[in-house]
């Protein structure tokens, strides 16, 4: 393998493990099946972000968790160091352009992710946030599909996986990058982290090792060691984004709600099959009538129409709230893994995404990608009192969707995605997470979970009675005394239904 003729910067220990200061550090967002399982989403293609070379650090260095932040995440990774210039290289040639393999820790402050929209400039670009080393392994001596990466936190093994568990093989990552940009000698590619990445606090020690246990001599990078210390914050809100965390960021940083000390997210609860069958048979009009008899008059979602009038919607509510557009708020909450994406990633089997859009129809509140995600998650449907983008494509997904109509504009024209799993107002109806949502060609009704059994049973009984009345009307009976039934007709109905007849 060739090396870059540029100076090796021996006087700067940040680059001590590398042949030279890299021109760029490229990192993969998500690449291991085990990590994808933790996150609940599997990408179809690799995606990337850049880290500055000033973020590099050597084994034994300290890293600062800024004052005012909570979530310094560590991610043990296999790092590739380019040994031969790569531009538009074939997949079967890509590995030959890798000179060395080493260990890396892709550190990041989750408190600063919100404004980065996936670029990770603030959250992962700080000084010392990319330790690499301590030694290089010659890429020619190892099988790229048989590398192992392990991470220890304070001596406890927390990550242990191999490159065989990657969604995107190492050579594919190199070839994909090389079709978009030139990889130069010394460039570093961080190839993603497996399950087990978590949070470190001041005083913790993180160690990462990459080795090839099946190769001759079992080559290893040795352990890359980083100690976390407290550092200054001094974030000036007049200049830009400042740290902020929520339970979603805590879950992503720690790797699970349990590790973050949060209660388990069990969803809103799937409706039992027998009850679902009853709700499927009960028309929305009948349910609405029974709710009105119980004094609940504001339980219909007004102003929405079914995209597929022939499809019945039955499920429990998973809620998403939009607030009116305010540009400064959209800059902080509109990009990245925002509340809208969280809602569609979280919706579970038999749940309905109910969106509060304030009846604002001047932009879409979902499009085809989100509809596909809901369908893949087993969602029962979507209800929004706003618009739908990509209307034909959403319809083609085949998911029951109720909306205020089609609109071509993107979300940010009218809305800021704000919160999930909270009480929302959709089409004038208050909807709580876990409420039962039923929709048909007549519209959508919201049924409180604690009374749904009684409501649907009474609705089905009323439907049977109405069907009997309709049959009598079809035979020529007058409405007076029949609809609603007086004593004589009621007695006849009781006799007929008691013996199973319909006359």
Concatenated DSSP letters of 206-233: EEEEEE-TTSTT--B---EEEEEEEE--
Answer yes or no: is pLDDT of 479 > 80. Answer: yes
Same domain, 17 and 96: yes
pLDDT tens readout for residues 28-83: 999 999 998 887 678 889 999 999 999 999 999 999 999 999 999 999 999 999 99
pLDDT tens readout for residues 424-440: 999 999 999 999 999 99
CA max distance for the chain:
104
Rounded to 10°, the helix 452-474/487-498 angle is 100
In a domain, 268, yes or no: no
In a domain, 210, yes or no: yes
In a domain, 335, yes or no: yes
In a domain, 111, yes or no: yes
Distances (CA, A) of 158 to 147, 197, 224, 363: 17, 7, 15, 45
pLDDT tens readout for residues 76-107: 999 999 999 999 999 999 999 999 999 999 99
Could you give the CA distance from residue 64 to residue 72 in angstroms, rounded to a whole number?
Answer: 9
Same domain, 373 and 422: yes
Could you give the CA distance from residue 370 to residue 205 in angstroms, rounded to a whole number?
Answer: 40
Residues annotated within a binding site: 367-370, 389-390
Give the predicted TM-score (pTM) of the model: 0.59
Answer yes or no: is pLDDT of 2 > 60. Answer: no
Same domain, 101 and 208: yes
User: Which range (150-159, 212-221, 279-288, 461-470) has the least confidence?
Assistant: 461-470
In a domain, 265, yes or no: no
In a domain, 464, yes or no: no
Answer yes or no: is pLDDT of 368 > 50. Answer: yes
Number of domains composing the chain:
2
Pairing of strands 72-74, 108-109: antiparallel
In a domain, 71, yes or no: yes
Find the domain containing 84 and state its range. Answer: 13-254
Same domain, 230 and 334: no
Same domain, 173 and 295: no
Q: Would you give the DSSP letter of residue 364?
A: B
Residue 309 is encoded by which pair of tokens?
Answer: 């009038």
Same domain, 155 and 118: yes
Could you give the CA distance from residue 400 to residue 53 in angstroms, rounded to a whole number?
Answer: 49
Same domain, 324 and 353: yes
Residues annotated within a binding site for substrate: 367-370, 389
Answer yes or no: is pLDDT of 257 > 90. Answer: no
Residues annotated within a binding site for Mg(2+): 390
Nearest-CA neighbor of 39 among 339, 254, 206, 208?
Answer: 254
Same domain, 353 and 235: no
In a domain, 307, yes or no: yes
CA atoms within 13 A of residue 403's CA, in its CB half-sphere? 28
**Residue 292: CATH number of its domain:** 3.50.30.40
Nearest-CA neighbor of 141 among 201, 176, 99?
Answer: 99
């Amino acid at each position: 393998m060739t090396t870059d003729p540029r100076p090796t910067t021996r006087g700067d220990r940040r680059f001590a493990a590398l042949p030279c200061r890299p021109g760029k550090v490229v990192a993969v967002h998500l690449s291991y099946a085990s990590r994808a399982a933790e996150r609940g989403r599997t990408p179809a293609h690799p995606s990337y972000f850049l880290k500055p070379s000033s973020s590099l650090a050597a084994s034994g260095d300290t890293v600062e968790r800024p004052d005012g932040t909570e979530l310094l995440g560590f991610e043990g990774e296999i790092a590739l160091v380019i040994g031969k210039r790569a531009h538009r290289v074939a997949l079967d040639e890509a590995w030959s352009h890798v000179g060395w393999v080493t260990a890396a820790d892709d550190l990041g402050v989750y408190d600063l992710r919100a404004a980065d929209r996936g670029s990770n400039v603030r959250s992962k670009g700080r000084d010392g946030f990319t330790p690499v080393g301590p030694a290089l392994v010659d890429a020619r001596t190892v099988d790229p599909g048989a590398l192992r990466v392990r991470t220890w936190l304070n001596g406890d093994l927390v990550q242990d996986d191999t490159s065989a568990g990657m969604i995107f093989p190492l050579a594919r990552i190199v070839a994909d990058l090389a079709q978009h940009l030139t990889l130069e000698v010394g460039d570093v590619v961080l190839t993603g982290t497996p399950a087990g990445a978590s949070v470190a606090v001041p005083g913790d020690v993180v160690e990462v090792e990459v080795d090839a246990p099946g190769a001759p001599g079992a080559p290893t990078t040795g352990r890359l060691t980083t100690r976390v210390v407290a550092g200054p914050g001094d974030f000036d809100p007049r200049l830009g984004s400042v740290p902020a965390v929520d339970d979603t960021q805590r879950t992503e940083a720690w790797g699970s709600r349990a590790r973050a000390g949060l209660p388990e997210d069990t969803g809103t609860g799937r409706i039992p099959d027998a009850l679902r069958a009853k709700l499927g048979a009960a028309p929305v009009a009948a349910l609405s009538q029974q709710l009105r008899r119980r004094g609940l008059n504001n339980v219909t979602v007004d102003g929405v129409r079914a995209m597929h009038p022939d499809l019945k919607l039955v499920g429990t509510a998973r809620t998403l709230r939009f607030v009116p557009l305010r540009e400064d708020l959209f800059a902080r909450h509109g990009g990245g893994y925002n509340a809208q994406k969280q809602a569609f990633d979280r919706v579970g089997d038999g749940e309905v995404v109910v969106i509060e859009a304030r009846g604002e129809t001047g932009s879409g509140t979902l499009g085809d990608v989100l509809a596909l995600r809901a369908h893949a998650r087993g969602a029962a449907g979507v209800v929004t009192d706003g618009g739908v983008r990509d209307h034909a494509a959403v319809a083609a997904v085949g998911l029951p969707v109720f909306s205020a109509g089609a609109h071509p504009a993107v979300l940010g024209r009218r809305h800021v995605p704000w919160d999930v799993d909270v009480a929302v107002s959709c089409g004038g109806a208050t909807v709580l997470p876990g409420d039962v949502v039923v929709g048909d060609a007549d519209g959508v009704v919201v049924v409180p979970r604690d009374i749904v059994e009684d409501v649907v049973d009474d609705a089905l009984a009323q439907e049977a009675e109405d069907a009997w009345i309709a049959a009598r009307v079809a035979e020529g009976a007058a409405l007076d005394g029949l609809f609603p039934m007086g004593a004589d007709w009621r007695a006849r109905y009781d006799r007929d239904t008691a013996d199973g007849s319909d006359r």
